[in-house]
Structure 1
Amino acid sequence: MAVLKPLGDAEMDERQRRMMDAMLVRGRDYNVFRTMLHHPAAMEAFLGWGSYILSDQNTLSVALRELAILRTGALRRCEYEFLRHAVIARQHGFTDEVLHAIAVGDRTPLTDEMAMVMKAVDELVVEGRIAPDTFERIRSTFGDHTAIDIVWTVGQYSQVCMFLLTAGVEPDPDVADDPLRPLFA
């Protein structure tokens, strides 16, 4: 149940309306953004950093980035985040079998690179850091920038999950019937 309800168009001031219009131009009429608009200054700053995480400047491939986001959402028990990014992951070739595996922590159907990133995400969320041996393996496989970008991505989406869970943001209508939703019941 929503603690902070997503703002409707009639509830927004001029600044909030401009910010929402920028989201709508990109096709992003999502509850998360309408809820973040309760604090426009924080949302504006958040979107700046979030733009890096979702950009081509982030050295994680789209598939590995989405895996990191999905696994973070699953570990944080954040239905909204997982379902929202499952849409993106499917657009990049993830099957429901792989999405289910990410949700439950099963590395079996994953490539070695995906399994390595999932292990790093698990360590970050549970221990607050990537273990030295895992970090070194990631550095030697992907390089320093990607190893660091894993930390930034998990940190960013941990913050998003905390906001979503605290505010009680409910899944958007387009994902309400997702077959993976029961995993979060």
Structure 2
Amino acid sequence: MSSSADNIDNPASQPRIAPLELSEWTPEGFAAMEPMRPPAGSAYDKRKADRKQQVRRPNNALSVMARYPELAQAFLAFNRHLLYFNTLPGRAIELAVLRVAWLRRSEYEWVQHAAAALEVGLTTEEIDRTTADSVDGWNPDDALLLRAVDELHHNHGWSGGTWNELADAFDTRQIMDLLFTVGAYDTLAVAFNCFDLPLDPELEGKSFPSGAEG
């Protein structure tokens, strides 16, 4: 399955904007990635070090963004906050991103964050369930978060009832971080679909779970 939702106009599934090979990166492209450097000594720093033992190349998303260093640097400076200074717990962040990726049918984003979700403690069964329409079986906080993402996607905002539930479960900064996390990863999901971005080599063969709804 391609990372694009439909591939109607690109049946061969070739990237519309291909990731740069490492040899094609410019000094400006490398410099634009600086915001993605995790804070020294943080849990993210350790996770990145562990990944580097297995993967020694930038992922395809960054390798496309490296074609446009000015845009990459601006967006990644914003994304740095969402990754490293988000007030939401890691579990909540990854649940929200997985739901966004599924709703946008962005295979690239979903597969990337399925791997990240395992690192913050989600189980494979929970990750797969982010593609189900129903939120039955989730604990109340998880179910609320998934419903909130669904409501943003389908209704472009939150009802008064949903807002009140969120205000009871999260503080103001967490609610703001949730909104901007959903918005940022919705933008990325659409971009990845439009680029027909291929999965990274180490994730080839991964996809949405078998039997996923929709």
- The match for 1:48 is 77
Distance (Å, rounded) in 2 between the aligned partners of 1:184 and 1:167: 24
2:52 maps to 1:39: no
- The match for 2:18 is 5
Query: Any conservation in 2 of the 1:76–1:158 contact (CA below 8 Å)?
Result: yes
Secondary structure in structure 2 of the residue aligned to 1:130:
coil
Structure 1 residues 113 and 80, CA gap change in structure 2 (3 angstroms) = same
Which is further off, 134-143 or 111-120?
A: 134-143
**Alignment deviations for residues 30-82 of structure 1 (CA, whole Å, 9 cap, x no partner):** 10000111211000001000011112x32211000100000000000000001
**Alignment deviations for residues 143-174 of structure 1 (CA, whole Å, 9 cap, x no partner):** 22212211111000011111111111111122
Alpha-carbon shift at residue 97 of structure 1 (Å): 1.4
Q: How does 1:59-138 map to 2 (within 5 A)?
A: 59-138=87-166
Structure 1 residues 149 and 22, CA gap change in structure 2 (3 angstroms) = closer
Q: Which runs of 5+ in 2 are unaligned?
A: 1-12, 39-47
TM-score computed with the length of structure 1 as normaliser: 0.89
Which is further off, 122-131 or 41-50?
A: 122-131
Which is further off, 129-138 or 150-159?
A: 129-138
Letter in 2 for 1:133: G
Structure 1 residues 23 and 82, CA gap change in structure 2 (3 angstroms) = same
CA RMSD of aligned residues (A): 2.4
Query: Any conservation in 2 of the 1:67–1:118 contact (CA below 8 Å)?
Result: yes
Identity of aligned residues (%): 26
Letter in 2 for 1:172: D
Secondary structure in structure 1 of the residue aligned to 2:149:
helix
Higher helix share: 1
Count matched residues.
184
- The match for 2:43 is none
- The match for 2:3 is none
- The match for 1:15 is 28
Alpha-carbon shift at residue 24 of structure 1 (Å): 8.9
Letter in 1 for 2:92: L
Query: Any conservation in 2 of the 1:52–1:58 contact (CA below 8 Å)?
Result: yes
Distance (Å, rounded) in 1 between the aligned partners of 2:107 and 2:213: 6
Q: How does 1:121-160 map to 2 (within 5 A)?
A: 121-160=149-188
Alpha-carbon shift at residue 16 of structure 1 (Å): 1.5
Alpha-carbon shift at residue 99 of structure 1 (Å): 1.2
Distance (Å, rounded) in 2 between the aligned partners of 1:77 and 1:179: 11
Q: Which runs of 5+ in 1 are unaligned?
A: none
